[in-house]
Amino acid sequence: MRLLDGKHTSQQLRNEIREEVKKFVEKGNRRPHLAAILVGNNGASVTYVNAKIKACEEVGFASSLIRLSDTISQAELIAEVEKLNADESIDGFIVQLPLPDQIREHKVIMAIDPKKDVDGFHPQNLGRIALNMHAFVPATPAGIVELLDRYNIETGGKHCVVLGRSHIVGLPMSILMSRNGYPGNSTVTICHSHTQNLPEIVHSADIIIAAVGRPNFVTADMVKEGVVVVDVGITRVVDTTKKSGYRLVGDVEFDTVSKKAAFITPVPGGVGPMTIASLLKNTMIAARRRKV
119 is catalytic: yes
| Sole binder of ligand GUN in the list 77, 95, 145, 188 (CB under 6 A) | 95
Q: Beta 2-3 vs 263-264: how paired, if at all? A: parallel
CA-wise closest residue to 267 among 255, 259, 279 = 255
Nearest residue to the partner ligand GUN, using Cβ: 97
User: With binding defined as CB under 6 A, does residue 94 bind ligand GUN?
Assistant: yes
In whole angstroms, the minimum distance from the beta carbon of 116 to ligand GUN comes to 13
Question: Any catalytic annotation for residue 196?
Answer: no
Query: Catalytic one among 5, 91, 117, 119?
Result: 119
Helices and strands: H and E segment counts in the chain: 10, 11
d(CA 173, CA 152): 18
Q: How far is the CB of 188 from ligand GUN (least distance, A)?
A: 21
First to last CA, the chain: 48
Q: Which of 38, 81, 135, 139 binds ligand GUN (CB under 6 A)?
A: 139
Cα dihedral across residues 120, 121, 127, 129: positive or negative: positive
- Check if the beta carbon of residue 191 is closer than 8 Å to that of residue 173: no
**98: cis peptide before it, omega within 30°?**
yes
H-helix or E-strand containing 237? strand 235-238
Q: Closest Cα to residue 84, out of 35, 153, 122, 29?
A: 35
Q: How many residues of this chain interact with ligand GUN, rule: CB under 6 A?
A: 8
Site mask, ligand GUN, residues 40-79, x = CB under 6 A?
A: ----------------------------------------
Among the residue ranges 23-31, 94-102, 159-167, 246-254, the one whose residues contact ligand GUN (CB under 6 A): 94-102
Among 9, 10, 63, 96, binds ligand GUN (CB under 6 A): 96
Should residue 274 be labelled a site residue for ligand GUN when binding is judged by CB under 6 A? no
Question: Which residues, numbered 157-216, are part of the site for ligand GUN (CB under 6 A)?
Answer: 168
User: Which residues carry out catalysis?
Assistant: 52, 96, 119
**Footprint of ligand GUN (CB under 6 A):** 94-97, 119, 139-140, 168
